[in-house]
Structure 1
């Protein structure tokens, strides 16, 4: 039997720096045995979607820039560091790093939150291509896309935690 504390320890970081999502899913009675990827992901996404606009925006803003200052300083969460390294973002050329920096600034200035993409299975070229396209989206379209990507990241992280 999984306890609340065990669940929060394992799943509290699935949504970047937002353990309140796991807490609310558990406290609402939405997490039960047996823990399955589908059930846990659905319960946590429900709490994310039901949150107020400010809370959802805070979740988006909790994500680090891709190949940004936190990565350079070694201050990413373990999940973010591993995800970015898996996509090759820790091995950028100086020109690639300059483009990521420029795009991060342009994107954040336009939308008010960092560019978010589930990087698993992508390489730096895929990510740059998506970045170049999405920076031209409308605010509404990009907010929707960023929220979808946050939920996708959560699912990928849960896949490493919940083995059915």
Structure 2
């Protein structure tokens, strides 16, 4: 696969961060990268080595769950599918209000949106995790959010392998 084709196929694995796929392609691809777990590990290692500023920028590119998108902003197709799988578009008024209050508190505390791999979770599960994590220490939450980004990337790679 050419570098351009690889980036076209895998540039959305990390939210709005095609630089991850670009860097992997520039390093060179091997047959081992056909394995989603292998490719996920390479991508995660690259993000881990990117430094805190780049990691923070990556975290900030994720959408809020049940969030308020700004003018002209749209969820990526991947985020749309993931949030739809958790039925986040079907919140009750109370759930909707709770998500927004938690989004505001979380963003104010940590400086990036709450990130969780929602695949396989219910709205109740997500709210419970959200409520617990908003009380985390900032360094612990940064690590947890980054780990969740890697989990999301791994799930996206698995989905691409099945497509």
Common fold: TM-score over 0.5: yes
Q: Aligned equivalents of 1:32 and 1:3: distance in 2? A: 12
C-alpha displacement at 1:33, in angstroms? 2.1
1:82 paired with 2:81, answer yes
C-alpha displacement at 1:163, in angstroms? 4.1
What are the superposed Cα offsets for residues 91-121 of structure 1, whole Å, 9 maximum, x if unpaired? 0011110100000000000000000000000
1:20 paired with 2:16, answer no
Secondary structure class of the residue paired with 1:66: coil
| Greater than 2 Å deviation, 4+ residue runs | none
C-alpha displacement at 1:3, in angstroms? 1.3
Match of 1:33 among 19, 31, 34: 31
C-alpha displacement at 1:6, in angstroms? 1.3
1:155 paired with 2:154, answer yes
- List runs of 5+ in structure 2 lacking aligned partners: none
What are the superposed Cα offsets for residues 127-161 of structure 1, whole Å, 9 maximum, x if unpaired? 00000000000001100100000000000000111
Aligned residue pairs total 161
C-alpha displacement at 1:74, in angstroms? 7.9
- List runs of 5+ in structure 1 lacking aligned partners: none
Structure whose residues are more often helix by fraction: 2
- State the TM-score, normalized to the length of structure 2: 0.94
Q: Aligned equivalents of 1:158 and 1:9: distance in 2? A: 13
RMSD in angstroms over aligned alpha carbons? 1.7
- Map 1:109-128 → 2, pairs under 5 A: 109-128=108-127
- State the TM-score, normalized to the length of structure 1: 0.93
Q: Aligned equivalents of 1:143 and 1:65: distance in 2? A: 16
Q: Aligned equivalents of 2:6 and 2:27: distance in 1? A: 14
Q: Aligned equivalents of 1:44 and 1:122: distance in 2? A: 24
The 1:62–1:42 alpha-carbon spacing in structure 2 relative to 1, beyond 3 Å, is same
- Map 1:86-97 → 2, pairs under 5 A: 86-97=85-96
Q: Aligned equivalents of 1:74 and 1:16: distance in 2? A: 13
C-alpha displacement at 1:85, in angstroms? 0.8
